[in-house]
Chains A and B, each alone.
Chain A
């Protein structure tokens, strides 16, 4: 049995269905190996028209493997860094495929799970209250280090992305749609995969549908980069506003803010690297260990 099944249909659409050997899908060692293999296979696939990423579990994807997070110590940082970078390279490869990649979000996609979705060109979710979406890492003393900070800032701009990155806001599909974090909702689970495939076929000859905005020459971040006066003003006032809330007690939101600003200052790939370093710095903090530990005991 494979944790991520690979099925190509008559239209040339490959569906990757995640059904990892655990209660929920997470960024486990199994996931990393399977995803790497799947991406390599997609890159070599002939006659490919699109990719759908789906889940066979009730939830879409739960996020990081928290046992792994809890176990990382200072001496393991290089290994942890390499692991995160390896995973992010696969995300990058996925978004650079010449065909559209669609996330078919059947259930909750939080943290790393939502970062999988962000690496896709198009996100469709079932409009159901159980489908909780968002990047709640800050609540665990971490940051969305698998591209979550950099992708949301580049999608929505610093001003729109900062609040939910700093608060770890959870969204319903309708809210996520309004914000622009997802692109479409469907009414039922049954409609999800057909709609995902239909969208791919509708966009067969649309190069833009297969390309991330930041991979288009001349891309600029919505709302402007760090040199834009309004963004510069935001960058200046964000530290005191954050401090007022945290009183300097929590390293995670501070690091998230710094990485988010890096995302409007540097190119996409460099910002991704800085984001990885930020996650590495947080994963060993007592605050992260405490919050992740508390999450387990909930």
Chain B
């Protein structure tokens, strides 16, 4: 048993458009992830044979991301051959699930040092290309009333009474905060430039952010899920949510998370690991929780997950200084704040996935780093990280500076 699962460092790649033409499209997933492992090794002159495991979230583990990419990243980084690796998939929670699993193993005393993170090159292995019963198995879809997440997000907005202007305003603020944070160097400690095999810089900083975004520019975008909803998905979800007559389709590409490429890596270990390797902890994992809510609306899990996580930690809302909710869609952020009764001033203080993008399997671990950096910058103590997850799940982790 170990008393504490420390966070020794948390790094990530910059994020860029996850389509052909994006700055990271040319980079193989095994290279993107390996760059971060090599950076951890470089920063701490790390004896990689000390690492017990590398856990990487990846939501599209097929093609170039198939075959347990975590282990392949370890090999590609030329880490000691004794280091294992495992890829996991809990949809959008994968990166945070990796962190939580690593912390649990360290706390159990089964491991002393683990790298937890994720990788998702959405430009090379597009979302959904790994198939699954979601959307591909009519029997299952009719039985469970499967509807795409965007329809769920629109329904959440309708139920919450958030109109197009409300979700767009949330998106504008995400862009403003993210641009401010990037341009003032708030991410510099964690963002590791992506280099090619010659050491030439491919991408230094996030380039997905659109700083000039205004309510006016967003107003011109067309609703993404209106047509799809009209084909029948709206009827399916309304059969459950009878308190509303129709789904107000408010989400557009401008107020939804961006499709991007990116990777993350968090170094989590015991006190012993720190002493053995001369590492100074930056924080610790206090508690984590995962649960599920209604799978049809799919995205209402984060608030309940945060409540559960507080219970696990024996803490109250007032003990949390900063809150981070993955901006899968604007309505998810609005719902999270409403569910928990928290203010936007302390939530997603440096913007989120609407501005910077959501590399599915990598995002959760990225948010741990974002919060750790910001707690240090503001000299605060605790943060809650939450994500909405496919199948109605929600996940949360509380981190604390030490």
B25 contacts chain A at the CB level, 8 A cutoff: yes
Instruction: List A contacts of B63 (CB < 8 A).
Output: 227
Contact of A77 among B20, B25, B64, B198 (CB under 8 A): B198
Q: Name the interface residues of A14-52: CB closer than 8 Å to any CB of B.
A: none
Distance in Å: Cβ of A271 to nearest Cβ of chain B: 8
Q: Name the interface residues of B11-43: CB closer than 8 Å to any CB of A.
A: 20, 25-26
CA distance A200 to B226 in the complex (A): 50
B25 touches A277 (CB 8 A): no
Closest A residue to B20 by beta carbon equals A267
Distance in Å: Cβ of A2 to nearest Cβ of chain B: 34
Closest B residue to A258 by beta carbon equals B28
CA distance A277 to B64 in the complex (A): 20
A280 touches B200 (CB 8 A): yes
Q: Name the interface residues of A49-106: CB closer than 8 Å to any CB of B.
A: 77-78, 81
Distance in Å: Cβ of B357 to nearest Cβ of chain A: 18
CA distance A265 to B123 in the complex (A): 11
Instruction: List A contacts of B199 (CB < 8 A).
Output: 77
A277 touches B200 (CB 8 A): yes
Instruction: List A contacts of B196 (CB < 8 A).
Output: 277, 280
B197 contacts chain A at the CB level, 8 A cutoff: yes
Closest B residue to A284 by beta carbon equals B198
Distance in Å: Cβ of A269 to nearest Cβ of chain B: 8
Instruction: List B contacts of A78 (CB < 8 A).
Output: 200
Q: Which residue, of A265, A270, A278, A280, has the highest number of chain B Cβ atoms within 10 A?
A: A270
Q: Name the interface residues of A257-286: CB closer than 8 Å to any CB of B.
A: 265-267, 270, 273-274, 277-278, 280-281, 284
What's the interface size class on A, roughly? 10 to 19
B198 touches A277 (CB 8 A): yes
B198 touches A270 (CB 8 A): no
Instruction: List B contacts of A81 (CB < 8 A).
Output: 198, 200
A281 touches B198 (CB 8 A): yes
Question: Contacts A227-B63, A266-B20, A267-B20 hold; do A281 and B197 have CB atoms under 8 A apart?
Answer: yes
CA distance A272 to B200 in the complex (A): 16
Distance in Å: Cβ of B115 to nearest Cβ of chain A: 26
B200 touches A270 (CB 8 A): no
Distance in Å: Cβ of B260 to nearest Cβ of chain A: 16
Question: Contacts A267-B20, A270-B20 hold; do A280 and B198 have CB atoms under 8 A apart?
Answer: yes
Closest B residue to A77 by beta carbon equals B198
Contact of A277 among B20, B124, B197 (CB under 8 A): B197
CA distance A278 to B20 in the complex (A): 19
Q: Which residue, of B20, B198, B200, has the highest number of chain A Cβ atoms within 10 A?
A: B198
Instruction: List B contacts of A280 (CB < 8 A).
Output: 196, 198, 200
Distance in Å: Cβ of A267 to nearest Cβ of chain B: 5
Given A77-B198, A77-B199, A270-B26; 16 other pairs, CB 8 A cutoff: A77-B200, A78-B200, A227-B63, A265-B64, A265-B124, A266-B124, A267-B25, A270-B25, A273-B26, A277-B196, A277-B197, A277-B198, A277-B200, A280-B196, A281-B197, A284-B198
A-B contact pairs, 27 of them (CB 8 A): A77-B198, A77-B200, A78-B200, A81-B198, A81-B200, A227-B63, A265-B64, A265-B124, A266-B20, A266-B25, A266-B26, A266-B124, A267-B20, A267-B25, A270-B20, A273-B26, A274-B26, A277-B26, A277-B196, A277-B198, A277-B200, A278-B197, A280-B196, A280-B198, A280-B200, A281-B197, A281-B198
Residues of A near any B CB (own CB < 8 A): 77-78, 81, 227, 265-267, 270, 273-274, 277-278, 280-281, 284
The 3 closest A-B pairs by CB, nearest first: A267-B20, A277-B196, A280-B198
